Amino acid sequence: MIASAPGKIILFGEHAVVYGRRALVSAIDLRCKVEVRKSVDFRINSPLGTTNLDFKVHPYVSYAIRRFQEIQSLKGAEISIESEIPIASGLGSSSAVTVATLKALSEEFNVNLSDQEIFEIARKVELDVQGRGSGIDPFISTFGGSWIFPDKKKVDLSLELFVIKLWERATKVMVEKVANLRQRYPEIVDKIFDAIDAITLRAVEPGLQMEELIYLNQSLLRAIGVSSAKIDDLVAKLEKEGFFVKITGAGGGGCVFGLFKGKKPENSFLVRTNAEGVRIEDS
């Protein structure tokens, strides 16, 4: 059985969403495809290598199998992963592989999990691996479309964005960095989160000034320490060329994006928002 799930882009609200503020998120047209076949033992094949259950090389898939076994015991499965989503870059590759694995397992072993059940298990897997998180990634990868999260308010947001991939980084490290800053300056950092929440709400108003909101949110992400000197230099250079960009996801690397208006910066690629959620693919 083959299932696929989309990556995502957080337009506004990353980090603040870990503390109950709202984020605007959309599924993008880059997908992760997972094939599951019944077998006598476990084997996971991906661009990262071939392993058994391996919580270091394939943490998300291994925890997904472990969590699935709480519902249905399995002797084994052969899992093969192909992904268009760059890894460790804030575009949701970890959740996409988790969600697609759960969907393919569910169909291959006739468990027929609903999307809501897949989301709830993927959420547990995210916490197994990362220890902390808002659940926004498993949510969007399962349901697709565009949403205000955690309100679960669906919005219609069909955009073309340019994305520049920087370098890989760990979400967990960046989330902990923000948690440390907040511990030292709770009354300041919480106000920044409130401002980010307000940006998210303005972003879904008709006639939005998306680029001004991108500028404001990037400035606040810088304030909470998830930009870097290199990212700041890039943001300034792009602004001179007339492009407004912000980090998407945990920051410290990963990706930046901006609104595509017919011209894109060097070394960027285009994505479309509002993609379909998890689905079964023809074999």
User: Is the Cβ of residue 137 or residue 197 nearer to ligand PMV in the bound state?
Assistant: 137
Question: Pick from 249, 252, 253, 258: which binds ligand PMV (CB under 6 A)?
Answer: 249
Kindly state whether residue 138 participates in binding ligand PMV, applying the rule CB under 6 A.
no
Instruction: Draw the binding track, 56-95, toward ligand PMV (x: CB under 6 A; -: no contact).
Output: ----------------------------------x-x---
Instruction: Pick out residues in 188-247 that bind ligand PMV (CB under 6 A).
Output: none
Question: Shortest Cβ contact with ligand PMV: which residue?
Answer: 249
Q: How far is the CB of 211 from ligand PMV (least distance, A)?
A: 22
Stretch in the footprint of ligand PMV (CB under 6 A) among 29-37, 38-46, 233-241, 248-256: 248-256
Catalytic residue among 115, 137, 232, 282: 137
Whole-angstrom distance, CA of residue 224 vs CA of residue 183: 12
Q: Which amino acid is at 129?
A: V
Q: Taking CB under 6 A as the rule, does residue 253 contact ligand PMV?
A: no
If binding is defined by CB under 6 A, does position 137 make contact with ligand PMV? yes
Q: Assess contact for 268 and 164: CB atoms under 8 A.
A: yes
What is the rounded distance in angstroms from the CA atom of residue 281 to the CA atom of residue 3?
A: 5
Among the listed residues 249, 273, 279, the one whose alpha carbon sits nearest the alpha carbon of residue 26:
273
Q: Are 124 and 67 in contact (CB under 8 A)?
A: yes
Instruction: Pick between residue 76 and residue 86 the one whose CB is nearest to ligand PMV.
Output: 86
Based on the residue annotation, tell me whether 137 is a catalytic residue of this protein: yes
Q: What is the DSSP letter of 28?
A: E
Q: Is position 15 an interface residue for ligand PMV (rule: CB under 6 A)? A: yes
User: From the CB of 277, what's the least distance to ligand PMV, in Å?
Assistant: 16
Cβ distance to ligand PMV smaller for residue 35 or 197: 197
Q: Which residues pair with 153 in a beta bridge?
A: 148
Is residue 36 at the binding interface for ligand PMV, with CB under 6 A as the rule?
A: no
Give CA–CA dist 10/70, Å, rounded.
Answer: 31
Please state, in angstroms and as integers, the Cα–Cα distance from residue 10 to each residue in 5, 43, 107, 138, following that order. Answer: 16, 32, 29, 13
- The C-alpha atoms of residue 126 and residue 144 are separated, in whole angstroms, by 18
Applying CB under 6 A, does 277 fall inside the site for ligand PMV? Answer: no
A 10 A CB-CB count for 120 gives 16
Residue 264: both structure tokens together: 């894109």
Contact call for residues 30 and 271 (beta carbons, < 8 A): yes
Q: Site residues (CB under 6 A) for ligand PMV?
A: 10, 14-15, 17-18, 90, 92, 133-134, 136-137, 171, 175, 249-250, 254
Hey, which residues are catalytic here? 137
